[in-house]
Structure 1
């Protein structure tokens, strides 16, 4: 039995697809024309924390590469970019964010992403029943479109996950000044180029000012029968 088949059977509570499924075309695409191997030596040295995800937006060692020049000049059309990573033991939805730009993720380990559509946000509320899960095998690079809701990956083994994250420079930095709220969407602006809704159960983010706009189940991805 493949890892994907096993995970799909363990998670009947959420629509579950392989990243190569046609379903993913509404959320993003697989990236095949870039060589990401220059990033792997650094990622092999990073650790997965025992509790809580760690996100580092910009890593000079990974940015001082020919890959960054190629991604910046072509994929992002000359826009400055940052290359960082997200590692962790997470297995639940917790929140959904979006950017006004595409994001690149590279799966350093197998992992699952829980995805939704910005178009399904209604009056700053999003029902988690609309979320779909995608299995991303180790070594796969993907583009996540600006209209795709996403958040930290979910682990598919007890050790946790590792992923490279590429975004326009400054994304996820703290806002430098308070935003004048003119629209409903402005309530969701949490950091630079980051609009965020969280599940009320994720109190650590709610207490930081994140908007508790996710209704329904805080979906958990199960990776073996003992995690049920």
Structure 2
């Protein structure tokens, strides 16, 4: 992608005067990840756009989609995980707020199928595995076709839409991530006195909810976000 394509659109900036929206080309992004300039995403973006839909309300996340896991694509993307088995899934929706924060103990390869925004927060903002202030999050613009590696332990959740029609994105993670915990592990988690254990919801998925996000709270997610449930206004 050309550098100019990473610029944050002026109309998006004007629609969100209370938010500082950063380009992923800016130095601010370096603490969270890096852009994969050499990864040609055109085919995968077109494929994901064709075989996935944006739900009418909220967001949907699928850990993997067989249509996206063509052998050649899997082999190419395994490079970024040192040959480990991976899953190619997607997250689409009409989300506009932080709502919660999750982290994985592995990198996440994120590809914007449409223009997207993401709130990213450094792991250091997580206090005693209990609370995170939403003001610690920084907001970034991901143009359509951009691909990045988000480093392990970076706090994030679903993207936000730039357009009122919503967003589409591809999520690549180590195989098994975000799948349900085994009964044995779930039992160990319930008995654990380790403070981080209360955040472990699924395989390789530690998560906190904002008090307003009842959908997460009803799943047993720890309520740990403090402050305003920051949101963006689409254009």
Q: TM-score range by the shorter chain?
A: over 0.9
Partner residue, 1:98: 103
| Distance in structure 1 (CA, Å) of the matches to 2:96 and 2:113 | 17
Conserved? CA contact 2:92–2:169, under 8 Å: yes
| Distance in structure 2 (CA, Å) of the matches to 1:184 and 1:106 | 32
CA RMSD of aligned residues (A): 1.4
TM-score scaled by length of structure 1? 0.93
| Distance in structure 1 (CA, Å) of the matches to 2:8 and 2:70 | 34
Tell me the alpha carbon deviations over residues 9-48 of structure 1, each in whole angstroms, 9 at most, x when there is no partner.
3323333201111100010011122223332224323211
Partner residue, 2:159: 153
Tell me the alpha carbon deviations over residues 69-94 of structure 1, each in whole angstroms, 9 at most, x when there is no partner.
1221x210121100010110100110
Q: What 5-or-longer segments of structure 2 have no aligned partner? A: 1-6
Kindly state the Cα deviation for residue 3 of structure 1 after the two structures are TM-superposed: 5.5
Partner residue, 1:6: 11
Q: Which moved more, 1:32-41 or 1:131-140?
A: 32-41
* Alpha carbons of structure 1 residues 81 and 105: separation in structure 2 relative to 1, 3 Å: same
Kindly state the Cα deviation for residue 59 of structure 1 after the two structures are TM-superposed: 1.2
Q: What 5-or-longer segments of structure 1 have no aligned partner? A: none
Q: Which moved more, 1:43-52 or 1:113-122?
A: 43-52
Aligned residues between the structures: 222
| Distance in structure 2 (CA, Å) of the matches to 1:108 and 1:42 | 7
Partner residue, 1:59: 65
Conserved? CA contact 1:35–1:67, under 8 Å: no
